[in-house]
Structure 1
């Protein structure tokens, strides 16, 4: 059994490496530590600088719990979501500016949902500003023995100056266990429920690897897929830190292999401690964007979008934020054997049933339920208003289209009518020529219109001169003798009457 686990681990460890051709080799950091003693069971690039992504939220949580321990705040302290916090890109809850949430609920949300807006609200609420909270993060990190870490924001979104190391994250994990034993359940919540929404933990080991009980995942393109994971077996707890992986699945499988190896090892007297690991000679973290987020491939998914997308000034898309704004430097880095048989085709068992923990906005569940109901009503009203506005806009568009069509039809009809009228009134070319010739014969000026009044003197004066040539043929007095016989008959009848 041990030989099989060791052989599989060796394959995974080879797969974890990054090679740079002729350049010096650069490795993706991994670390296996006995949680109680701090003895290192296996390490690779453990002190090399690396972009942390959302495992930053473990540092944010430590600072917050430390302030509670000192009595500066309580878990019931209300935090207010500012416009800047609300504008943070996914993963997020999508709370509106002005929303209030207790520190207790905020910590549960960032551990499970990895909500960037809520992490930002924690930083502003506890530090006075994100910059002030970052100063607290750096001071605390130095105090607990973290040497390679530099913090500039509380959520881990791309910031080229913010990095950590596998060693520092293992030190932080041990500090969280040691200093806040009553808060260990915070790191093993399988899901949270906000209203009707159930959100599962991004940690793919919880409920899938026997004994897995924490802590936090993270992903940005420049750092790849990271995890600080813990598991307990037989009363012994192991910490595994895996960074720079090309997918969540490979990250989880390799962490599981490291657990298997760690539980099979004993921390002997000769094993190095976290504090004794030598410093790195690597000056800055490698930028993994050219490989992790190759534009020719689908965008990797680990910590997906929340209920709402970012809005407001300065709110960039999630992809833009994950990729960062800087153009990556040319690099010869390339993963070696990441698609080998040790990982390809392997999966962890299906996740067990989720056990959601309720979270709410406001100071109590009742207040939160009322606030959520108001928000839902407002959302429904806004949705209905938008639907009505869209309907009215569609109706206006149809009416405008109909009016334009009717106007076009009317214009076409009027144009046709004018064309017909012009065709009727316009004289034909042959008629005009005949009229002109006739006018010339009668001495009428060429410009005289065909519609000149009959009372025009020139026209009446010309008629008598033309009549003598035609009258002899129509002389009526010649026909009168034909009526005389009737007169003679009447005279004869009168004579008979007299006799």
Structure 2
């Protein structure tokens, strides 16, 4: 039997397009959705568009706007190096896991935060371009005011939870239009299907890319307090539309609802009149709702902002079985004619739908350092340093050219630091061992290689120096024995 505590949870799970009951309140929370024509700014569909909401990683669209604006003003450049600080490296996932001191170009950093949504890299962008995260947040707020984003408050560049940081669907649509309008030369930044760092290929979290015809950006985001969000753009027959969906319980539902809104938007004509983004009324809500009780139930695995197409068949089947069970409970709890039952039927229809398989990924290469060759050297040196050192061997003291590594991209040759260090460490012990075992003869220093030295050591060698041909004097014990033998023979002859 359903309890009063379980019913609001199930209701919040299934009414993504409707009202979600807020914990501890009698009111209702509407999941924000918005569809806008890019060229005209006309609103084609709106639901809770000005309500305050936690943005999660769609914050990185604001971070990208500020960075590109600084490049446009000449205050930054796409090839400048950003350093990963200890604070940046300590940011929680999603992240690249770069060590403090690692450097990366701004161009690669923007690609990484748009695809991988790496929090450590976004933090580094803020620190390096703003002087500090606080300084960069001020730049974010200044840019938001210039663009007319009236509902947004920014405190960090990566969107990790901060109770003071929120935005609205309307503001994110304003920002998306500004990115498309102000930086047309950087439009490809938002449509990268995957990045490749070394051997690792990381697909874009945006499950609409390569699965919904015409989608060419922009960014997803997820935290428990805000649910699953997406700002997406699509182009069909020369017409571009922006869709914003926020507060969804899963990445799959977010993607499907965004696809439905695109279908709806492309079916509408702009015409004359109609509401614009500037015409949308101010929300009556003072602060964003906390969606954690509905999104991140401790009794279920933590949801992730990942492409639903990457889920295994068994996981998908398990999710479908859970949805079926919950739907049956919901249907049994309410009369068939009620609005609740109607919402349950909509949820069942949504559960049986799926977007087409994702198109093959086309990874874009990213690297640390200024160029890929520098990144290859750093990665190899790091791998070499991570290997445990072996005990030194006597042979290491012999004169031998240090092995080298050649980078194909530049032709540069770089000694291997681990082998050089091993030779230096082994030299004293090897010299002592050699001195104790060497015969008491002069050592030839004129020969330049071991082959010549070996040839010079042979008796009767044509080119052997005279000093080397003479054997070392016999030990005194042997000489004494010879004297005693001669004395014995003399006494016998006598």
Sort the TM-score into its range (normalised by shorter chain).
Answer: 0.5 to 0.7
Correspondences of 1:412-423 after superposition (within 5 Å): none
In 2: Cα distance, 1:68 partner to 1:41 partner: 33
Cα deviation code 1:347-387 (max 9, x no counterpart): 11110100000000001111111112222323444999xxx
The equivalent residue for 2:357 is 350
The equivalent residue for 2:68 is 65
SS across alignment from 1:242:
strand
What is the CA distance between 1:25 and its match in structure 2?
A: 2.5
Matched, 1:138 2:147: no
Correspondences of 1:2-151 after superposition (within 5 Å): 15-20=16-21, 23-151=26-154
The equivalent residue for 1:211 is 214
In 1: Cα distance, 2:219 partner to 2:121 partner: 16
What is the CA distance between 1:340 and its match in structure 2?
A: 1.3
Matched, 1:267 2:274: no
Q: 1:379 to 1:280 in 2, by over 3 A?
A: same
Size of the alignment, in residue pairs? 344
What is the CA distance between 1:339 and its match in structure 2?
A: 6.9
SS across alignment from 2:34:
strand
Q: Is the 8 A contact 2:219 2:231 kept in 1?
A: yes
Cα deviation code 1:47-100 (max 9, x no counterpart): 000000000000000000000000011001100000000000000000000000
Cα deviation code 1:380-427 (max 9, x no counterpart): 44999xxxxxxxxxxxxxxxxxxxxxxxxxxxxxxxxxxxxxxxxxxx
Q: 1:47 to 1:338 in 2, by over 3 A?
A: farther
- The runs of 5 or more residues in structure 2 that have no matched partner are 1-13, 308-339, 392-494
Report the TM-score when normalising by structure 2: 0.67
Cα deviation code 1:456-477 (max 9, x no counterpart): xxxxxxxxxxxxxxxxxxxxxx
What is the CA distance between 1:191 and its match in structure 2?
A: 0.3
The equivalent residue for 1:301 is 304
Correspondences of 1:327-338 after superposition (within 5 Å): 337=344
Correspondences of 1:307-456 after superposition (within 5 Å): 337=344, 340-381=347-388
**Among candidates 240, 244, 247, match of residue 241 of structure 1:** 244
In 2: Cα distance, 1:38 partner to 1:382 partner: 63
The equivalent residue for 2:405 is none
Q: Is the 8 A contact 2:37 2:44 kept in 1?
A: yes
The equivalent residue for 1:195 is 198
SS across alignment from 2:70:
helix
Report the TM-score when normalising by structure 1: 0.66
What is the CA distance between 1:14 and its match in structure 2?
A: 6.5
Q: Is the 8 A contact 2:20 2:31 kept in 1?
A: no
Cα deviation code 1:18-40 (max 9, x no counterpart): 24388232200000000111100
Q: 1:379 to 1:251 in 2, by over 3 A?
A: farther
Q: 1:370 to 1:262 in 2, by over 3 A?
A: same
The equivalent residue for 1:160 is 163
Q: Is the 8 A contact 1:114 1:303 kept in 2?
A: no
**Among candidates 173, 176, 189, match of residue 176 of structure 2:** 173
- Higher-Rg structure is 1
CA RMSD of aligned residues (A): 2.3
In 1: Cα distance, 2:385 partner to 2:356 partner: 42
Q: 1:303 to 1:131 in 2, by over 3 A?
A: farther
Q: Is the 8 A contact 2:16 2:31 kept in 1?
A: no
Q: Is the 8 A contact 2:207 2:306 kept in 1?
A: no
Task: Please identify runs of 4+ aligned residues in structure 1 that moved more than 6 A.
Answer: none
**Among candidates 280, 297, 305, match of residue 277 of structure 1:** 280
In 2: Cα distance, 1:132 partner to 1:23 partner: 40
The equivalent residue for 1:292 is 295
Q: 1:202 to 1:78 in 2, by over 3 A?
A: same
